[in-house]
Amino acid sequence: QLDAGNITLQQMKSNWWNSQPETANKYPPHMLLATFVDAIYNNVLGRAADEGGKTFWVEALRAGSVSREDFIQNIIDATKAPSGIGHDTAYLTNRAEAGVYFAQHGVHNGEQAINIMKVVTSDAFSVIGAKALIDGTATTIGTLVNGGYINGATVFIDSDFDNVRDT
């Protein structure tokens, strides 16, 4: 929709914040700012915020110099900047690639999307693994691979997502 010009980025951000129950559940308005910053870093970048970044963003949000919806865009934009951290850039790029692939393959199951995205890291091989899971979604998700993670192209079962192979 965005690429086709049917919606602006501002409309998409507004829709995400104001009309999506998942957003309200995951990031309720009463969430403490430090908790919110940590949650966004973990969701968008797959890591905890560094202390300097966390302090900066909490103060910017508290002062009103950035809104919650714009904060997420700022985090994404920072990964694209020449000074962006390579790991963050690769992580976000890989998640976007896997997410688009998921959407383009007509799979519309939120739980499957969550499980597939759990295998995506900053390692390019994780995208190959995610795509293999998506391609086999109809037969493998919910049975052998549900709750697993990918290391290269080998599937390991990790039902509690503690990054330790289940026995």
| pLDDT the model gives residue 143 | 35
| pLDDT the model gives residue 66 | 93
Q: List beta partners, residue 155.
A: 150
Percent of the chain with pLDDT over 70: 75
| pLDDT the model gives residue 116 | 84
Instruction: Say whether 154 sits in a helix, a strand or coil.
Output: strand
Angle ∠(41,19,107) on CA atoms, nearest 5: 75
Asked whether residue 4 carries a pLDDT value surpassing 50, the answer given is yes
Cα–Cα distance measured from residue 70 to residue 58, given in angstroms and rounded to the nearest whole number: 13
**pLDDT top residue among 138 and 71:** 71
**pLDDT top residue among 141 and 87:** 87
Asked whether residue 30 carries a pLDDT value surpassing 60, the answer given is yes
On whether the CB atoms of residues 153 and 133 are closer than 8 A, the answer is no
**pLDDT top residue among 97 and 144:** 97
Asked whether residue 165 carries a pLDDT value surpassing 70, the answer given is no
Say which range, 19-23, 84-88, 157-161, has the weakest mean pLDDT: 157-161
Q: What is the pLDDT of residues 103-114, one digit of tens each?
A: 888 767 777 888
Query: Angle at which helices 68-80 and 33-40 pack, to 10 degrees?
Result: 40
For all residues of the chain together, what is the average pLDDT? 77
On whether the CB atoms of residues 158 and 166 are closer than 8 A, the answer is yes
| pLDDT the model gives residue 150 | 40
